[in-house]
Amino acid sequence: MNGSNTVKTEDLVPAELVARCRAALGEGGRMQFMYAWFPEGPMAPELRYVLHPGRARPPRIWRCRPGDVPPPSLASTAPLLSWYERETTDLCGVVFRDQPLPQSLVLLPGSRSDRPPLVPGPMAHLSYTPSPQDLPELAGTTPEDVQLLPFGPIRADVLESAQFAFLYAGEAILHYHPQLFFKHRGMEQRFEGLAPMLATVLAERVSGIGSVAHALAYCHAVEAAADCEVPRRATWLRVLLAELERIYNHLHYLGHLCHTTTLKVGEAQGKYLEESAKQINSRVSGSRLLRGLIMPGGLRREPQLAGLVAGLARLENEFQRYADRLAATTSHLDRLMTTGILGRQLAFDQGATGPVERASGLDRDSRRDQSYGAYAELPLSIAIGESCDAYARQQVRIAELFNSIAIIRAVLAGLPEGRLRTECRPPPRSEGLGWAETPRGTAYYAVHLDADGRLARVKIKSPSFSNWRVFPYTVHDSNMMDYAINEASFGLTVAGCAR
């Protein structure tokens, strides 16, 4: 079980939201995300706010029906909710009173929708008129002082589509504005009308390099709605798959980070090790991205574990030598240290998650804090950084990778016997909340079923959505030479953000 069945839902009126949010933060809690859906039809939105009260305490949900009165924005109290409110305005038509930054988030400048896309009813139609980005005026400067560099949305190599506007003087970046969502896929809407048992294949493709974790968070939500108990053997094997996913992601991260510091041998070695890890994945699951095994109620079939111990040993030995070389390469380390500093309080306020927040000194990891599956029985070690820079973000991932190998060994040594799955059919009009720690941070899925037992609404809180929200704060007042290194150190994906 993932703990989702212990989640409590509380009804609040709009006038209570701000005070309750302040009280929750004052008690050490943290808002996670919010969303809207329409259980009673297109004219009656219902807002859901998900709060994590603290370590070893399950999330709580606030349910609010604003009626005809615009609900208050909580962005001034919990800044990380700003993007969720703006997303909800774009996709669900709910306008928040006193939103400090009311510009569209998902709809690009110049885009217009004849109706909010997630409101029940006919399909929305978009129109577009070319429009410049709304960039700020910089105090104390004149137009002659500052240059504008609009970079993207088509970028070199195989990078995802995004446009970045840099306002800079010389090498100094004065302001940075990322424009994402050029290829927004409407993944949440794609879940609507699907049978819960069949939608895992869609969850695996929300962010391809997080296939296991997204499938796991989705299945946890469905299992919470069905109140089903996953067999113990399946929970242990799910951990094994999740940690294999963490390994290849972190190896790719290290290789790409070396690319940005022009350490070409380090890039080649990191990507070679990533390929070795993906070949292990393929032998274990039949998929280099570990797809097709996880399902609501457990696993579809047994993974192939023969040879995994030996394969991991070889990978660990090669990775140890690689990590040692990185630690001894001062030209690489010099580019990371003091680059992209994200302070602890800023990381908390703006919603950083995963290795990014842990590298800023925040001791948070949903595998422990909201424990699920078999993690409570395994040797989980949480790596924390203190320097808050690109170097800390690298070191956290290196430590996590070694710990992932230790966890997998413990799974193989103590794997219980038993069934792989159990019946898991959530009843009509049920709902559930699930979560999992991806290589980039915590993913949440909230599922709501209709009267026919099909998915009526699926909300996805993806870690890259959170970390893209945070990232610009580390770019302002930095320099152009360090930008690529800083972006790579966050391990961001556009697909994970622009769902």
pLDDT in tens, 357-387: 999 999 999 999 999 999 999 999 999 999 9
231 within some domain: yes
227-242 residue pLDDT tens: 999 999 999 999 999 9
Segment 143-159 shows an average pLDDT of: 78
Q: Say if residue 202 is in the same domain as residue 84.
A: no
User: Residue 4: which pLDDT band, with cuts at 50, 70 and 90?
Assistant: very low
Both structure tokens of 405 = 């190998």
- Residue 231 belongs to domain with CATH number: 1.10.645.10
Q: Cis link prior to 116 (omega < 30° from 0)?
A: no
Domain count, the chain: 2
119-to-35, 112, 193, 194, 404 alpha-carbon distances in Å: 12, 15, 14, 17, 42
The pLDDT, as a whole number, for residue 125 is 83
The pLDDT, as a whole number, for residue 152 is 80
337-360 residue pLDDT tens: 999 999 999 999 999 999 999 999
Q: Say if residue 333 is in the same domain as residue 223.
A: yes
Is residue 409 within 8 A of residue 309, CB to CB? The reply is: yes
51-99 residue pLDDT tens: 999 888 899 999 999 988 899 999 999 999 999 999 999 999 999 999 9
User: Residue 1: which pLDDT band, with cuts at 50, 70 and 90?
Assistant: very low
Domain boundary among 123, 139, 168: 123
Which among 353, 374, 332, 326 has a CA at the least distance from the CA of 491?
353
475 within some domain: no
- Residue 61 belongs to domain with CATH number: 3.30.460.80
Segment 208-226 shows an average pLDDT of: 97
175 within some domain: no
The pLDDT, as a whole number, for residue 142 is 65
Whether 419 shows a pLDDT value over 70: the answer reads yes
Whether 138 shows a pLDDT value over 50: the answer reads yes
**Domain coverage including residue 11:** 4-123
394 within some domain: yes
As a whole number of angstroms, the distance between CA 354 and CA 490 comes to: 10
Q: Work out the mean pLDDT of the chain and round it to a whole number.
A: 93
Q: Say if residue 229 is in the same domain as residue 96.
A: no
Q: Say if residue 300 is in the same domain as residue 429.
A: yes
Whether 25 shows a pLDDT value over 90: the answer reads yes
92 within some domain: yes
Query: For residue 115, how many other CB atoms are within 10 A of its CB?
Result: 13
The pLDDT, as a whole number, for residue 277 is 98
172-to-6, 139, 289 alpha-carbon distances in Å: 49, 15, 39
Q: What is the value of pTM for the model shown?
A: 0.95
Q: Side chain identity at 279, as an amino acid letter?
A: Q
Query: For residue 142, how many other CB atoms are within 10 A of its CB?
Result: 7
Q: Say if residue 234 is in the same domain as residue 330.
A: yes
174 within some domain: no
332 within some domain: yes
159 within some domain: no
Q: Say if residue 264 is in the same domain as residue 408.
A: yes
User: Residue 140: which pLDDT band, with cuts at 50, 70 and 90?
Assistant: low
Q: Say if residue 205 is in the same domain as residue 66.
A: no
Segment 257-267 shows an average pLDDT of: 97
Q: Say if residue 269 is in the same domain as residue 372.
A: yes
The pLDDT, as a whole number, for residue 471 is 97
